[in-house]
Amino acid sequence: MSINSVILILGSGPRVGASVAQKFASIGYKVAIASRKGTGSKTAEGYLSLEADFTKPDVIPSLFDRVASEFKAAPSVVVYNAAALTPPPQSDFVLSIPSERVTADLAVNTVSPYVAAQQAVKGWATLPKETKKTFIYTGNNLNNNVLPVPLMLDLGVGKSASAYWIGVVDLVNSDKGSRFFYADERSADGKLKGQALDGPAHGEFYAQLAGRHDDSVPWQATFVKDQGYVNFK
């Protein structure tokens, strides 16, 4: 890792986002975080805090510009950790979610991370060839598991769509010094973690993904706390 190694975390929640920031800061990365609560200045931990509304994908490029300007280097690691869902307002009609809410949630879950990936690749072209470049999307197993749970409808749509483009991009670019991962924490039995996600486990695993680019972990990076990657297929 070079002295100018930078990570940008898009969606810096109190569990996963905060833990990923803390882990990467502890191993020498300069950290930028972006969320609705961003301040435009440095946090007490020394992170660059940026304000962003991920329902508006056109704000993404400016975040990358600000990070490169602040740290004099593009982020070599980009983590997309934002997510959105809208419960069906009619409990007996799963398709009662208004189309404008589906569109807004899809922007957060799929379109904004897609734009972030575009900007990541653009920035990576300015980094030394030997630098490991990593894009990590915080996913779950809804792309593999259709649940009869109306609450999960448009979240599952967004996660599934993102899993597909991430898989394609990683398979196409894995020989170009960059990796794209759909990270999915599971219980030891392979089941969905749901609200029981473990923040520090994400931090540890994401640091592992950024530090090694061999074929031991595929783009669909399913993992278990204290075990790392586990193949549940």
| pLDDT per residue as tens digits for the range 190-228 | 888 888 899 999 999 999 999 888 889 999 999 999 999
How many other CB atoms are found less than 10 A from the CB of residue 114? 19
* Angle 220-223-226 from CA coordinates, rounded to 5°: 160
Residues in the chain: 233
How many other CB atoms are found less than 10 A from the CB of residue 187? 12
From CA 82, how far away is CA 78, in angstroms rounded? 12
Residue 214: which region, alpha, beta or left (left: phi > 0; alpha: psi -120 to 50)? beta
pLDDT band at 6 (very low <50, low <70, confident <90, very high): very high
Q: Where are the domains of the chain?
A: 6-229
* Res 40: pLDDT: 85
**CATH superfamily of the 6-229 domain:** NAD(P)-binding Rossmann-like Domain (3.40.50.720)
Q: Would you say residue 175 has pLDDT above 80? A: no
* Res 2: pLDDT: 54
Pairwise pLDDT comparison (176 vs 145), residue with the higher score:
145
